Structure 1
């Protein structure tokens, strides 16, 4: 576990995604922000027992958004602790299976985009466990002194949380504190403020504006959904640099036209570009098959020829020749 700021602790789950324990200011009371990937419940419960006291439970679970690496253990934890799950209203249709998020875009490039082809698309149904925060009240639920900010572009109802008193920011996946387009960089946890979730960003203009909004806060401590804690001057400077030079991909489904969403889910999707990987994989597979058949046939003939050419001929039995005078 790593300290972000006073009363804010980061727990890294499976070297990939972060969750946060945030104290409310009342002794023994705290809130969990995000729940990691599926199967993370025992790890999070054990960390909470260690950080606070055995049997400790939060006042609520706040989800920055509903992608599977953030809500993975939400049902298990909410049922174990008997606490509500709070989200932005625009996330509700996706978390109650009334709608699906805009499809990921594996054509934008990078190792994360490649891997995204194999991520499950179906999300668990949170049912009555989930409730919406009040969009008219900027105060973060259950967290005095904190406010939430709506930062779409990666998920329609994505939330960031900011504490003005010490300028602490939990940035969700509006950006990352590691090179998020590279799976090896994420696993190595090298600090680098960068764009986040490239194959999952459905509106690049909104994503850029969200980073601009957060950079204007000039945070002094940052924790995101992916990557290490960054504090001090590097936090604000790195975020400002990203906002001023936000790298929109050269190509991709949502680069020139975003998906449009509303309170019911996805309202419009731009056409999907042709994904060349399946075709390339088929060509490679066919080439391997042809090469294998050719090897088998030529190898078989070669073995047969070798057997014929090395067969030993019978050697005549020796006999004595008698001379005329014997």
Structure 2
């Protein structure tokens, strides 16, 4: 039931937003993905849900032309709402899929994620989380570990940053020249546990989605690392992009009050 609801909500409202000349954010209501680069060299970051492929392909055709394809796919982690279309798209394009070494077992059929924890929040999304897909996928033919030096193949101006907590090998992407941050699920700008907040994108700084986060100490440290980069623009996977003084203020507030804002009162991973 839960995943069908998520897929249905995603299909109802898909939008795109050009946040920089070379960054297009594709929003599937529940989660977002990004196209980064120019027509002769671009990357897809995350692949949304299983039914997101159609909109991704439409955006690529509109922006870069018919039969265009990215040089690679970069996954911030392996949760279902980030890898939903990766099997279809990697096979269609025959391109490498880069992911952190610690996430490789989850995309090569070797390890499953924990089941979502419904006890962390009273919101409907949290309550439905045990029904969300948590089994590993298998893209062994395309999956490659990101280089250990922090570089990203095909994205020479960008670096990946290990931001564990939500998952073991969760990463964020950062471009130093203009301090643009793709935060993925390290933090959110909406209360992802609440269906109303997800649907309205009501702005509310928060930590990673609670029902799938397995290490809260690491998650807190990851938010601090990202705040210390002093990003000018942050693109989360859940919620709207945030920039400038508003972003700085919200990140400071999240770092200084992480336990109160982000960490649930109870849950399977709260005291680990």
Q: TM-score, normalised by structure 2?
A: 0.89
Q: Give the Cα–Cα distance (whole angstroms) in 2 for the partners of residues 51 and 212 of structure 1.
A: 35
- 1:252 aligns with 267
| Equivalent position of 2:49 in the other structure | 37
1:75 partner SS: helix
8 Å contact from structure 1 (residues 66, 94) kept in 2: yes
Structure 1 residue runs of 5 or longer lacking an equivalent are 258-326
Q: Which is higher, the Rg of structure 1 or of structure 2?
A: 1
1:231-260 deviations in Å (ceiling 9; x for gaps)? 221122211211111132111111111xxx
In structure 2, distance between residues paired with 1:185 and 1:161: 25
CA contact (8 A) 1:37 1:71 kept: yes
Match runs of 1:195-206 below 5 Å: 195-206=207-218
How big is the shift at 1:141? 2.3
Does 1:12 find its partner at 2:12? no
Equivalent residues of 1:10, 1:19 under 8 A apart: yes
CA distance in 1, matches of 2:33, 2:100: 18
Residue 4 of structure 1 deviates from its aligned partner by 2.4
Q: In 1, distance between residues paired with 2:150 and 2:193?
A: 31
Measure how far apart 1:152 and its partner are: 0.6
Please report how far the alpha carbon of residue 145 of structure 1 lies from its aligned counterpart in structure 2 after TM superposition.
Answer: 1.0
Provide Cα deviations, 1:93-140, integer angstroms capped at 9, x if missing partner.
Answer: 1111211123322211232220102212223211211111122x1122
1:220-259 paired onto structure 2 within 5 Å: 220-246=232-258, 247=261, 248-257=263-272
Structure 2 residue aligned with 1:139: 151
Residue from 114, 125, 132 that aligns with 1:119: 132
Superimposed CA distance per residue, residues 294-317 of structure 1 (whole angstroms, 9 cap, x where no aligned partner) = xxxxxxxxxxxxxxxxxxxxxxxx
Deviations 1:163-190 (A, max 9, x none): 1111100001001121222121011122
Please tell me whether the aligned partners of residues 5 and 168 of structure 1 are also in contact (alpha carbons under 8 angstroms). Answer: no
Residue by residue over 1:265-290, the C-alpha shift from the partner in whole angstroms, topping out at 9 and shown as x without a partner, is xxxxxxxxxxxxxxxxxxxxxxxxxx
Q: CA deviation at 1:56?
A: 1.2
Residues 1:181 and 2:200 are matched in the alignment = no
Q: Secondary structure at the match of 2:47?
A: coil
Q: Which runs of 4+ in 1 moved over 4 A?
A: none
> Could you tell me how far 1:20 is from its partner in structure 2?
0.1
- Aligned-pair Cα RMSD in Å: 1.3
Q: Give the number of aligned pairs.
A: 253
Aligned equivalent of 1:281: none
**Which runs of 5 or more structure 2 residues have no equivalent in the other structure?**
1-15
Contact (CA 8 Å) 2:103, 2:168: kept in 1 or not? Answer: yes
Partner residue, 1:101: 113
For 1:65, which of 63, 77, 92 is the aligned residue?
77
- Match of 1:19, SS state, is strand
After TM superposition, give the deviation of residue 5 of structure 1 in Å. Answer: 2.5
Q: What is the Cα deviation at residue 158 of structure 1?
A: 0.6
8 Å CA contact retained: 1:4, 1:222:
no
**Aligned partners of 2:198 and 2:189: how far apart in 1?**
9
